[in-house]
Copies of this chain bind each other. A is one copy, B any other.
């Protein structure tokens, strides 16, 4: 039985959850793990706010060197989020001989190669289960339990805020803006929800999954990414009529020509478990060549689920399992044989197009002609009467067969230039 000392950087919502767990369950964790894990320092700029955690005297500090220069601290947990100063702090912690645990997806998606290289150089580890899927142990599953498999595809709901907004829209028939306000009121969405609703958070998490599951090194900015801000109540209704729900899906798929990566609001058939995921839950469906489909669902954010994942990483680090996994996976390693990633314009998708047109002769013929000229074939068309008789616009819904992102973009540009097209065309993905 040894004592492992832990320093925590960042005492926000998640930090407070981790402190509650490590301080409140020290005895239980000791019994389960066989070692004492002691949270000895918490560093934050804000020493005043009460986070509802009973802290031992002298544990809270605003001086980072109380952690970095403390030779007794073995593990540093980084929970400040964002790129800087998180990047600098993690590098310093590694260089000071600490193992690192982080929940920071933006940091890993942007600086993964640099940080992991430094960790290898210092013979230390970085564990990051909480960075994707909150409390769901998806990284451990892919990185260890499914390791005998070649992963064929991953489809996932990775942002609880977006899923909550879409659930509100489908449950209450509210429009996008009202659902965002409701999410903000309940604390699910930030005052500026851009990182969530524009899909940036999701695409960064997909980048991390792509490295782990496929060895793909990719700049998240180059992945095809649409947010949910283009989804309207009317799309939810059309989806329902097509026996589908709309979910913000992160999709990674191994093909003969390389890995396809995309993030988009996507029509998912009721029969798919992803369509059953409600409110702020996250879910991941992984398909392996031997295991087949494995589906995971759980709370993707929040103080306690995220603390569960962070502390499981701390325990793994203490036990030495993290070191084995870290060295075996060789993440972002220069010599890691990775898969080729398809350029985003070549990524295939089935699409749902909602085109708002003046209802007149020849419209359908011209639009389907444009699609055909881009090599896009139409699977089905729904055209409904406008409900508002004073509004001359009708919505035409076109479901396409699989087409490349690039061809879809070009076709939509042409369609949107037509004189009788009254709104920008909405393009969503279709599962399958």
Contacts and interface: CB of A to CB of B under 8 A. Distances in A.
Given A28-B150, A273-B276, A297 B298 contact: no
Contacts of A154: none
Nearest to A337: B31
B292 A299 contact: yes
A325 B32 CA distance: 11
A296 B294 contact: yes
Contact of A137 (B34, B145, B312, B314): B145
Contacts of A185: none
B308 A290 contact: yes
Interface stretch (A105-113, A232-240, A315-323): A315-323
Interface in A107-164: 129, 135-137, 140-141, 144-150
A324 interface: yes
Interface string A9-43: 00000000100010001001101111000000000
Interface in A285-299: 288-299
A129 B144 CA distance: 12
A290 B307 contact: yes
A137 B292 CA distance: 12
A117 B118 CA distance: 42
Given A31-B337, A297-B273, A299-B292, A148 B315 contact: yes
Contact of A324 (B17, B147, B304, B319): B319
A337 to B, nearest CB: 7
Interface residues of A, number: 55
A228 interface: no
Q: Is the interface of A mostly helix, strand, loop or mixed?
A: helix
Contact of A297 (B129, B290, B295, B308): B295
Given A148-B21, A148-B25, A290 B273 contact: no
B291 A144 contact: no
Interface string A85-99: 000000000000000
A33 B291 contact: no
Nearest to A295: B297
Contact of A141 (B28, B140, B297): B140
Given A293-B299, A299-B292, A304-B291, A144 B316 contact: yes
Of listed A294, A296, A311, residue having the most chain B CB within 10 A: A294
A398 to B, nearest CB: 30
A52 B302 CA distance: 49
A305 interface: yes
A137 to B, nearest CB: 3
A294 B297 contact: yes
Contacts of A273: 273, 276, 297
Contacts of A307: 148, 290
Interface of A: 17, 21, 25, 28-29, 31-34, 129, 135-137, 140-141, 144-150, 273, 276, 288-299, 302, 304-305, 307-309, 311-312, 314-316, 319-321, 324-325, 327-328, 337
10 contacts: A25-B148, A137-B146, A140-B145, A144-B321, A147-B315, A148-B311, A295-B298, A320-B324, A321-B325, A324-B324
